[in-house]
Chains A and B, each alone.
Chain A
Amino acid sequence: MTAAIRPARQFCSFMLGRSLFGIETTAITEIVSRVQFTPVPQAAPSIAGMMNHRGDIATLVRLGTAIGVESRESSAEQRLVIFVQNKSSHNKSELVGLLVDQIGEIVEVDAEGAETEAVPQSIRPELRGLLQFACRRSERLLLALDLDAVFLLPSLNPVTPDPMISRSISHELVS
């Protein structure tokens, strides 16, 4: 098995609380640090607010709160955002920013999965369901997040309350 000629999968690693997570780089459009954002009153706890991303409005998700990992929720200067597309939206993808604690390096993982290992049993089952695999990197264990699964979380899939009023109309109109 010659891993060298196999295409490697690249993961952007980041810290959330005390754990090292990774998101596949192909899903990431941009990484921004030190952001100002606008909170949205009445939004769910896992939604931090919105920010202007080159004229588009991106929804900011507190990734730690969303996946149930204690995060530092550090001061404004430390806020780091990874922009990804939420493709679970029905018709078009939505620009979503994920708030994380600290961005790490890009990690290459052999696509064949030779280096990967099963997610340790010690991790909570709810979180385990959101991970693709684990992989040892230097002294830490990188947990590869399955973004599709994250966006399917109930906390990120609000049920629109009032079916009588067809919100879809207003959405179509303004889009």
Chain B
Amino acid sequence: MDEIVKEFLQESAENLNSLDQQFVRLDANPGDREILGAVFRTIHTIKGTTGFLGFERLESLTHAGENLLSRLRDGEIALTPAMTNTLLAMVDAVRRILRRIEATESDGTGDEGDPEEAGLAALLNSYAPGEAREEQHLPVGAPSRAGEAKQTLASARPAAAPERPAAAPELEKGVADATVRLDVKLLDQLMDLMGELVLARNQILQIAAQSADAALLPLAQRLNHITSDLRERVTQTRMQPLEQLFNQLPRMVRGISQSCGKKVSLEVSGAETEIDRSIMEAVKDPLTHAVRNALDHGIELPATRQAKGKPETGTVHVSAVHDSGYVIIGIKDDGGGLDCAALRGKAVERGLIDRAAADRLSDAEARELIFLPGFSTAAQISNISGRGVGMDVVRTNIEKIGGSVELESTLGKGTAVRFRIPLTLAILPALMVRCAGQSFAIPQASIVELVRIPQTVGDRVEWIGDTPVYRIRERLLPLIVLGDLLASAPPSAQPLSGAQELLLLILCFGSRQFGLIVDGVEDMEEIVVKPLGRLLSTVSLFSAATVRGDGGIALILDAQSLVTAAGMLNNSQDQQLHSAVSAAEHEGLAPDAKAKRGVLYIEASGRAAVDLNQIVRIEQLSPQQIEVFEGNTVFQYEGRILPLIDLRGPERRGRGEEDAARVSVLLCESTAGDAGVAVERVLDSAEEEIVPGRPWPGRSASAAVMQGAVTHLLDLSQVIERHFEAGAGGLE
């Protein structure tokens, strides 16, 4: 392809991307002449060059757009949303033609015209009736522009081309002379070579350490430092600001919110945060998906928002920050939040888990349900989202690149999704382990903990069905015996019998943790990730390998492949295991799968501890606010009538006590319904590791020694459930 045409295509693509941005900004400030001017100039530049290169179709379309824009810029007519839509459609049409030029080197001039393009041009002209005026004050320099394009190899930002009048200072980055446009392939090759250099350095260091030559060691050290520095720089060359990704969002948000009839404003921060370009590619789809979700499922319709007392316009905040070797990308909305009860119901309805298992899930676990394959809560499948290939793919893709996805949500307040993404992929720290006489590398990011299980307590390995589990700090960890997995054998009891010491690596994959039993642990190494050949693509256990310092090869084991290979991702099996694990944990009186949990100490006929997660807030009610209605104690809260469950000692019950002290009421959310629980006093809150004692007969709780005192472990959701079962229904 002609150099000039190539330059033109590259330049136009960048210009068009900035156009999207400007149009959306225009939507917010329809009269902004400066933006209009910038838009006009971009279109003008494209039009000028197309005319010179002989792309007549492109020229006639951009000409119509330019015409309308010049009127708008001069304030002759005012911009309407309809016009913006048409102009955006024009940008898309221009993109299509550019793609065609790229593929065929022709814009289709002389072919049968595209009716859509003709319609667009007509529409554009209809907004700006009258004879098209020729632009006078800009040096009409199509030929010179093109010539310039040919010469300016070092122009990173053609948007800031010199013909620009001073009217658009925000576009002048002033970096045009200091940057070089490079082929991405070259950067990739550079990174590959860098990997080789790291390997060569590792080898030299190994040899130097054993060598008697006094001159070699300092030299090797120097090589070591230079290589490290060089690596850092080379990694930097591949870094690009997330801006490129974030720039596509405003237009998407605009389009989706229009089609769902929602009002949404997008806030973006941290767009300057840099990330490896290969990771950028991988993040693109998950990010798009998460933003779509926020718009489609998160933000409510304007009427609903008003009814809830929220501003009509919802906000989606997309942010990016660096955090110790990771980039955190957050997508936060102020929409309806996740309804845990609805999530449980949906999961059961879809047959993803059974009712009993669903009810046992904590709210945090219920929220995790959205990451199950085939899960979608959208009542209606829209063309935007709700097809059930949603968050599981998001999580899979993010975890593929060694990242993780976190979710936080408050019902009625909104949802926040966070991607935690490594800065670079090609070189990563990994722990080398030995198994079956071979070395394997496990990326450090997925390793939580290393545990040595001495011989004597080998019986701590228990079996749930065919899966061995290990009890650690009162939670059960499914185990994978690497040796068995490599031999494609089912886990055998023999190595777990306790006759020998076990080396256990606790790995995490998303929110799930599991144990991996290996033969030995070698060392931490910086490894260069190399993909396996296509011939090995069926070996799902490994997706990549690395060349080691000694020239040998080690396969890379990642947590996801291990989980998949061990069948833990298999839904029904996993579910059985999950319910078995949680049942076993209940047996062991560890009510939840977390070692440390937020608890609230209360006084209610004695000292008790409740799960902080079950409490929405603590209210101080005056006794007058507590009323009796049809035999039930109730109170009003935010316009609702909630049942009040009184856990106070008999002497303090009832309403209107003489001392008129305020009553502490815990507002609780549970699957059975919402309720208030009156207690005598709130004592303290703390993060506690619950070490259960013996069950307490006759109570919906067990007891433990906490903070040095015997404490009831009170499950509020059970308390509420019993209350409702006893016939004291809530009135809503």
Cβ A41 vs Cβ B487 within 8 A: yes
Give bound CA distance, A160 to B543, whole Å.
Answer: 12
Known: A164-B373, A165-B396, A173-B278. A59 touches B541 (CB 8 A): no
Cβ A173 vs Cβ B533 within 8 A: no
Known: A47-B536, A160-B538. A169 touches B400 (CB 8 A): yes
Cβ A55 vs Cβ B199 within 8 A: yes
A122 interface residue (CB < 8 Å to B): no
Q: Which residues of A contact B543 (CB under 8 A)?
A: 167, 170-171, 174
Q: Which residues of B contact A89 (CB under 8 A)?
A: 533-534
A32 interface residue (CB < 8 Å to B): no
A26 interface residue (CB < 8 Å to B): no
A152 interface residue (CB < 8 Å to B): no
Give bound CA distance, A175 to B488, whole Å.
Answer: 28
A29 interface residue (CB < 8 Å to B): no
Closest to A38 in B: B553
Minimum Cβ distance to chain A for residue B276 (Å): 9
Contact with B along A22-40 (1 / 0, CB 8 A): 0000000000000011111
Cβ A161 vs Cβ B540 within 8 A: yes
Interface size on A, residues (CB 8 A): 42
Minimum Cβ distance to chain B for residue A44 (Å): 7
| Among B530, B536, B553, contact of A43 (Cβ-Cβ < 8 Å) | B536
B535 interface residue (CB < 8 Å to A): yes
Q: Which residues of B contact A158 (CB under 8 A)?
A: 535, 537-538
B450 interface residue (CB < 8 Å to A): no
Q: Which residues of A contact B127 (CB under 8 A)?
A: none
Minimum Cβ distance to chain A for residue B203 (Å): 11
Minimum Cβ distance to chain A for residue B35 (Å): 37
Q: Which residues of A contact B436 (CB under 8 A)?
A: 41
Q: Which residues of A contact B554 (CB under 8 A)?
A: 38
Cβ A44 vs Cβ B545 within 8 A: no
- Which residues of A in the span 126-175 have a Cβ within 8 Å of any Cβ on B? 156, 158-162, 164-167, 169-175
A111 interface residue (CB < 8 Å to B): no
Minimum Cβ distance to chain A for residue B529 (Å): 5
Closest to B439 in A: A38
Cβ B486 vs Cβ A160 within 8 A: no
Q: Which residues of B contact A37 (CB under 8 A)?
A: 553
B147 interface residue (CB < 8 Å to A): no
Contact with A along B432-444 (1 / 0, CB 8 A): 0000101000000
Cβ B553 vs Cβ A52 within 8 A: yes
Closest to A160 in B: B537
Minimum Cβ distance to chain A for residue B486 (Å): 4
- Which residues of B in the span 480-495 have a Cβ within 8 Å of any Cβ on A? 486-488
Say whether chain B's binding surface is mostly helix, strand, loop, or mixed.
mixed
A107 interface residue (CB < 8 Å to B): no
A76 interface residue (CB < 8 Å to B): no
- Which residues of B in the span 618-664 have a Cβ within 8 Å of any Cβ on A? none
B523 interface residue (CB < 8 Å to A): no
Give bound CA distance, A171 to B545, whole Å.
Answer: 12
Cβ B397 vs Cβ A174 within 8 A: no
Minimum Cβ distance to chain A for residue B530 (Å): 5
B351 interface residue (CB < 8 Å to A): no
A20 interface residue (CB < 8 Å to B): no
A2 interface residue (CB < 8 Å to B): no
A95 interface residue (CB < 8 Å to B): yes
Cβ B541 vs Cβ A52 within 8 A: no
Minimum Cβ distance to chain B for residue A93 (Å): 10
Give bound CA distance, A50 to B554, whole Å.
Answer: 9
Cβ B532 vs Cβ A52 within 8 A: no
Cβ A173 vs Cβ B537 within 8 A: no
Cβ A172 vs Cβ B278 within 8 A: yes
Cβ B281 vs Cβ A38 within 8 A: no
Cβ B535 vs Cβ A47 within 8 A: yes
B54 interface residue (CB < 8 Å to A): no
Give bound CA distance, A55 to B546, whole Å.
Answer: 9
| Among A50, A52, A160, A174, contact of B425 (Cβ-Cβ < 8 Å) | A174
A100 interface residue (CB < 8 Å to B): no
Q: Which residues of A contact B538 (CB under 8 A)?
A: 43-44, 158-161
| Among A52, A59, A96, contact of B551 (Cβ-Cβ < 8 Å) | A52
Q: Which residues of B contact A42 (CB under 8 A)?
A: 486, 488, 539-541, 565
Cβ A59 vs Cβ B535 within 8 A: yes
Cβ A57 vs Cβ B537 within 8 A: no
| Among B278, B282, B393, B555, contact of A40 (Cβ-Cβ < 8 Å) | B555
Cβ A156 vs Cβ B535 within 8 A: yes
Minimum Cβ distance to chain A for residue B557 (Å): 10
| Among B426, B531, B539, B565, contact of A171 (Cβ-Cβ < 8 Å) | B531
- Which residues of B in the span 247-299 have a Cβ within 8 Å of any Cβ on A? 278-279, 281-282
A86 interface residue (CB < 8 Å to B): yes
Known: A42-B541, A161-B538, A162-B564. A50 touches B282 (CB 8 A): no
| Among B486, B487, B540, B551, contact of A162 (Cβ-Cβ < 8 Å) | B540
Known: A38-B438, A50-B553, A57-B553. A169 touches B537 (CB 8 A): no
Closest to A43 in B: B539
Cβ B544 vs Cβ A59 within 8 A: no
Q: Which residues of B contact A169 (CB under 8 A)?
A: 282, 397, 400-401
Contact with A along B511-540 (1 / 0, CB 8 A): 000000000000000000111111111111
Q: Which residues of A contact B565 (CB under 8 A)?
A: 42
B547 interface residue (CB < 8 Å to A): yes
Give bound CA distance, A52 to B555, whole Å.
Answer: 12
B542 interface residue (CB < 8 Å to A): yes
Q: Which residues of B contact A52 (CB under 8 A)?
A: 547, 551-553
Please give the residue numbers on chain A whose beta carbons come within 8 Å of chain B beta carbons, in ascending order. Answer: 36-44, 47, 50-52, 55-59, 61, 86, 89-90, 94-96, 156, 158-162, 164-167, 169-175
16 more contacts with CB within 8 A, not counting A40-B555, A43-B538, A158-B538, are: A39-B438, A40-B542, A41-B438, A41-B487, A42-B565, A47-B536, A50-B553, A52-B552, A59-B532, A59-B533, A59-B536, A86-B533, A162-B564, A173-B401, A174-B425, A174-B544
What are 27 A-to-B residue pairs whose CB atoms are below 8 Å? A40-B539, A40-B555, A41-B487, A42-B488, A42-B539, A44-B538, A47-B535, A51-B553, A52-B551, A55-B547, A57-B532, A57-B553, A59-B533, A59-B535, A86-B533, A89-B533, A94-B533, A94-B535, A156-B535, A158-B538, A164-B373, A166-B396, A169-B401, A170-B401, A170-B543, A172-B281, A174-B426
